[in-house]
């Protein structure tokens, strides 16, 4: 039995806050190991990095998620009783509910809505002295997510709800007033979402059964009962909030184009694959969320190291995406690396690893790719702009991080017929399950049968079309 290398300090909470996204990678480098033990908030924690670590981390026989996330994360980002904290059959059944929304047809619908709101908002940008891409895209993403979910936008204070989503995203690692702001935003958003769920249950015939609001409101657990309205509200927010978070990725795309201007012309006239490779490299290269948390389900040994039941374990998502042993010239921005790279569910893991059917990989990853690729197409072919700060940078100690001015743009101009050019060049990539599988995946909602159909549909899709 090999002793797990230990960090030099008794507790490294302050080091985590100081080093941010690179905390685990820095410790791995200092200790010469991709596995080490430390204490965070005085709690014993094992930290892992790399492909092999990701593969073991997503072994459901060895790790569970229930109780793993710190309470400050649940009070702000994820909420309680949502899909992220479930395990086993309960997780797979609830995950099937999410995956039933991820057909190519439904994702294409969302992309259309996203583009329509982008065009409508972008028409105002040339009249403004400067434009915060971050603020604008967050608002656009909220409008698109809410409309796509079946929510009547005329009843929503979109700016206020966008603020709530952003506060939830930005507050988990913050201290003081910023964290309190995230807690309050979570409470307000859950009350809003819970009312939507109850209204949908009271007026089921007036809602589109394929939209997220209806699906979540009428979802039945494996025992056949409707889930608590609050739990349904948490999961509805677990669709809307992550779509709003894609605004951060869009800013990373703009930042990458600013730092590597040669890709502007390449992508403006490039193929769908060119844009896909660029987006994948943005997801690999820039930090979205630094770590994933789990608890050891039972004692086991891995690579000679002993893992004891109940121990908290963190997987370094950002560090794995930048691990030198896994990626050639890992610290260089190089989209072309994806032209010949084979799919590997445990290598590129900015939104979690493993397979969608049985692991905790993000159900909305296909949506992330679709909206990012759509945004890159517009940024490169349908508008011109300058960065207000030519030396804009990213602070890797911030969690989550962002270009330091939210990527302020000036001298924004839309190209002639920008909306037509964008829509005519729409990327047609096969995301998610096909429409026939999705139509067959009307699983456990009130008055419907076959609770396993959705799960079976996307299991087959994942097996035949593995995604990286």
pLDDT tens-digit profile, the chain (468 residues): 799 999 988 999 999 999 999 999 999 999 999 999 999 999 999 999 999 999 999 998 999 988 887 788 888 888 887 666 666 777 777 777 777 888 889 999 999 999 999 999 999 999 999 999 999 999 999 999 999 999 999 999 999 999 999 999 999 888 889 999 999 999 999 999 999 999 999 987 767 888 999 999 998 888 888 989 999 999 999 999 999 999 999 999 999 999 999 999 999 989 999 999 999 999 999 999 899 999 999 999 999 999 999 999 999 999 999 998 899 999 999 999 999 888 888 999 999 887 655 444 556 788 999 999 999 999 999 999 999 999 999 999 999 999 999 999 999 999 887 766 665 554 444 444 443 333 333 344 443 333 334 333 333 443 333 333
Closest C-alpha among 427, 407, 418 to residue 384: 418
Task: Provide CATH code, domain 13-464.
Answer: 1.10.630.10
Instruction: HSE, CB side, 13 Å, CA atoms: give it for residue 142.
Output: 19
What is the pTM (predicted TM-score) of this model?
0.87
How far is the C-alpha of 263 from the C-alpha of 241, rounded, in Å? Answer: 30
The DSSP secondary-structure symbol of 450 reads: -
How far is the C-alpha of 231 from the C-alpha of 82, rounded, in Å? Answer: 6
How far is the C-alpha of 371 from the C-alpha of 376, rounded, in Å? Answer: 9
The DSSP secondary-structure symbol of 399 reads: S
How far is the C-alpha of 206 from the C-alpha of 222, rounded, in Å? Answer: 26
Q: What tokens were used for 98?
A: 């999410």
Q: What tokens were used for 6?
A: 């230990």
Spell out where 21-119 has E strands. Answer: 35-40, 43-48, 63-64
How far is the C-alpha of 251 from the C-alpha of 392, rounded, in Å? Answer: 12
């Amino acid at each position: 039995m090999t002793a797990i290398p230990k960090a030099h300090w008794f507790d490294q909470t302050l080091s985590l806050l100081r080093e941010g996204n690179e905390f685990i990678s820095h410790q791995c480098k200092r200790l010469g190991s991709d596995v080490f033990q430390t204490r965070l908030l005085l709690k014993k924690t094992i930290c892992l990095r790399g492909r092999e670590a990701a593969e073991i981390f997503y072994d459901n026989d060895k790790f569970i998620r229930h109780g793993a996330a710190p309470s400050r994360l649940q009070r702000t980002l994820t909420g309680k009783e949502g899909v992220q904290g479930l395990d086993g059959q309960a997780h797979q059944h609830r995950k099937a509910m999410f995956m039933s929304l991820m057909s190519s047809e439904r994702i294409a619908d969302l992309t259309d809505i996203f583009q329509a709101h982008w065009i409508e908002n972008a028409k105002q940008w040339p009249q403004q002295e400067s434009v915060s891409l971050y603020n604008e895209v967050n608002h656009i993403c909220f409008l698109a997510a809410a409309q796509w979910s079946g929510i009547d936008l005329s009843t929503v204070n979109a700016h206020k709800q966008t603020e709530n989503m952003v506060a939830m995203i930005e507050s988990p690692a913050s201290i003081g007033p910023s964290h309190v702001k995230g807690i309050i935003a979570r409470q307000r958003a859950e009350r809003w979402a819970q009312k939507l769920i109850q209204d949908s249950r009271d007026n089921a015939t007036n809602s589109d059964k394929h939209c997220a609001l209806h699906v979540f409101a009428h979802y039945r657990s494996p025992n056949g009962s409707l889930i608590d309205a609050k739990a349904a509200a948490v999961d509805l927010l677990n669709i809307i909030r992550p779509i709003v978070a894609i605004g951060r990725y869009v800013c990373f795309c703009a930042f990458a184009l600013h730092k590597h201007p040669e890709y502007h012309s390449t992508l403006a006239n490039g193929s769908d694959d060119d844009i896909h490779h660029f987006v994948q490299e943005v997801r690999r290269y820039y930090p979205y969320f630094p770590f994933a948390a789990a608890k050891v389900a039972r004692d086991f040994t891995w690579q000679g190291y002993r893992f004891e039941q109940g121990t908290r374990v963190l997987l370094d998502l950002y560090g794995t995406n930048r691990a030198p042993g896994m990626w050639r010239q890992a610290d260089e921005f190089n989209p072309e690396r994806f032209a010949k790279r084979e799919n590997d569910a445990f290598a590129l893991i900015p939104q979690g690893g493993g397979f969608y059917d049985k692991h905790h990989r993000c159900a909305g990853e296909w949506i992330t790719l679709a909206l990012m690729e759509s945004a890159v197409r517009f940024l490169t072919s349908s508008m011109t702009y300058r960065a207000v700060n030519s030396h804009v940078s990213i602070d890797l100690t911030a969690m989550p991080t962002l270009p330091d001015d939210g990527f302020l743009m000036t001298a924004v101009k839309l190209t002639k017929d920008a909306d037509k050019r964008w829509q005519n060049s729409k990327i047609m990539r096969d995301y998610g399950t096909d429409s026939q599988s999705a139509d067959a995946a009307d699983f456990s909602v009130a008055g419907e049968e076959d609770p396993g159909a959705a799960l079976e549909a996307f299991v087959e899709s994942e097996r035949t079309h593995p995604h990286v």
